[in-house]
């Protein structure tokens, strides 16, 4: 019996592991491998709110995790250390043959490091992405996780090149496509049936969606002020929906900035997976600082303005619908106005973003395990 443990921790992990879990189940059942392969899920609890975690398990039809570490919030050192201590106990008692981690959150580096130190093979899905900005905690997590993983699955060509340039042997790198897009492709029909836009009094094509949660944008009051001015200016010509991440909510509440704003500015709690992407799909434009949303908008052909100086996902700018405007809210305003006036690129879907990445990954991993 071969045992594999996949790790989820924070919101952007759930849609990446869901298709992997489904692919394992499909392959195990189609090939009668029930006695030979066991795929388990460990949730570190880095994100724990109903709306940041449980809602995603429901929307993505993920099974209840086999292990829940309940780590919660904390400083970076606390979070990483607490995950490592708790995950090590699971690894020692379960003795898996492989650990799968995704993305770039603190749970990713914590669990990969714990597994490697116990001599357990690690597969990193969404490897090789680089923003080249070491002030981003995620960039440190990416570099470290990639440098110790045994199987590196990349979503775009830049990932392949970055890893080769860092000296990773090419035998360890697999260009397989994008598991997050597997989820999106799979759930698009359900999203089209979702009515959240009606509940929020919106019309298809007549509103924009905003998400901002990066520490560099939302941790200082002066930046938040600039962002609120930007959103208020945009709200003069279009409805603006802003589902607020807990980090941003905390700082906005402290700043007292969200009083007396335009009725066109609609703030909501974090939304579920289907609700959020159904809103994006019907929107005219997205303004974000997220990594994953740059990819989802490219796949859906929705223009995206990214309020960051860099992106670890350059393919979304090169051939997708994404525009990088730096951390300058004036530039962001100009680009948004241009797009709202109808001037934007149509974009193409990147190579291998075809809904089958998880299948490819699981095929490769099962082959290597034997």
**Contact residues for ligand UD1, defined by CB under 6 A:** 10-12, 46-49, 52-53, 73, 104-106, 137-138, 213, 245-247
Biggest distance spanned by C-alpha atoms of the chain = 62
Angle formed by the axes of helices 11-30 and 179-192, nearest 10°: 90
The residue among 47 and 239 lying less far from ligand UD1, judged by its C-beta, is 47
Q: What's the Rg (C-alpha) of the chain? A: 20
Taking the complex as a whole, the smallest distance from the CB of residue 106 to ligand UD1 amounts, in Å, to 4
Q: In what order do the strands lie in the sheet with 207-211?
A: 265-268, 239-243, 207-211, 285-288, 304-306, 322-324
Taking the complex as a whole, the smallest distance from the CB of residue 245 to ligand UD1 amounts, in Å, to 6
The residue among 103 and 355 lying less far from ligand UD1, judged by its C-beta, is 103
Taking the complex as a whole, the smallest distance from the CB of residue 28 to ligand UD1 amounts, in Å, to 30
Q: Are 278 and 191 in contact (CB under 8 A)?
A: yes
Q: Are 225 and 257 in contact (CB under 8 A)?
A: yes
Is 245 one of the catalytic residues?
A: no
The residue among 105 and 307 lying less far from ligand UD1, judged by its C-beta, is 105
The residue among 39 and 297 lying less far from ligand UD1, judged by its C-beta, is 297
Taking the complex as a whole, the smallest distance from the CB of residue 138 to ligand UD1 amounts, in Å, to 5
Name the one residue in this structure whose structure tokens are 């291998």.
352
The residue among 216 and 262 lying less far from ligand UD1, judged by its C-beta, is 216
What would the DSSP string read from start to end of 253-279?
HHHTTTSS--TTEEEEPPPPHHHHHHH
The residue among 53 and 283 lying less far from ligand UD1, judged by its C-beta, is 53
CA-based angle 243:249:251, to the nearest 5? 145
Q: Are 270 and 246 in contact (CB under 8 A)?
A: yes
Length of the chain: 370
Q: Which residue among 39, 47, 213, 245 is the active-site one?
A: 213
DSSP-based three-state secondary structure for 187: helix
Note the Cα 286 to chain centre separation in Å.
16
Q: Which residues are catalytic?
A: 213
């Amino acid at each position: 019996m071969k045992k594999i443990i996949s790790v989820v921790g924070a919101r952007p992990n759930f849609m990446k592991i869901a298709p992997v879990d489904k692919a394992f189940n499909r392959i195990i059942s189609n090939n009668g491998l029930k006695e030979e392969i066991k795929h388990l899920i460990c949730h570190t609890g880095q994100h724990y709110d109903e709306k940041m975690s449980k809602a995603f398990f429901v929307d993505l039809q993920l099974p209840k995790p086999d292990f829940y570490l309940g780590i919660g919030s904390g400083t970076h050192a606390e979070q990483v250390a607490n995950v490592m201590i708790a995950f090590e106990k699971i690894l020692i008692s379960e003795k898996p043959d492989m650990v799968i981690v995704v993305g770039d959150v603190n749970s990713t580096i914590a669990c990969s490091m714990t597994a490697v130190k116990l001599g357990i093979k690690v597969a990193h899905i969404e490897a090789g992405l680089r923003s080249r900005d070491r002030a981003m905690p995620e960039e440190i997590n990416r570099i470290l996780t990639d440098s110790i993983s045994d199987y590196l699955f990349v979503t775009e060509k830049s990932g392949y090149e970055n890893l080769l340039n860092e000296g990773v042997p090419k035998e360890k790198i697999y260009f397989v496509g994008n598991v997050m897009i597997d989820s999106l492709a799979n759930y698009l029909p359900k999203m089209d049936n979702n009515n959240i836009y009606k509940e929020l009094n919106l019309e298809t094509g007549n509103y924009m969606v905003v998400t901002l949660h990066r520490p560099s944008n939302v941790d200082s009051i002066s930046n938040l002020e600039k962002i609120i001015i930007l959103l208020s200016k945009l709200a003069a010509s279009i409805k603006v929906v802003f589902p607020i991440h807990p980090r941003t909510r905390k700082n906005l509440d402290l700043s007292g900035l969200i009083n007396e704003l335009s009725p066109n500015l609609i703030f909501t709690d974090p939304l579920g997976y289907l609700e959020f992407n159904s809103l994006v799909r019907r929107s005219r434009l997205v303004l974000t600082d997220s990594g994953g949303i740059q990819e989802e908008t490219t796949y859906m052909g929705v223009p995206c303005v990214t309020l960051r100086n860099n992106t670890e996902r350059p393919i979304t700018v090169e051939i997708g619908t994404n525009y990088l405007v730096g951390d300058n809210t004036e530039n962001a305003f100009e680009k948004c106005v241009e797009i709202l006036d109808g001037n934007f690129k149509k974009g193409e879907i990147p190579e291998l973003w075809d809904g089958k990445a998880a299948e490819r990954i699981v095929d490769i991993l099962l082959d290597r395990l034997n």
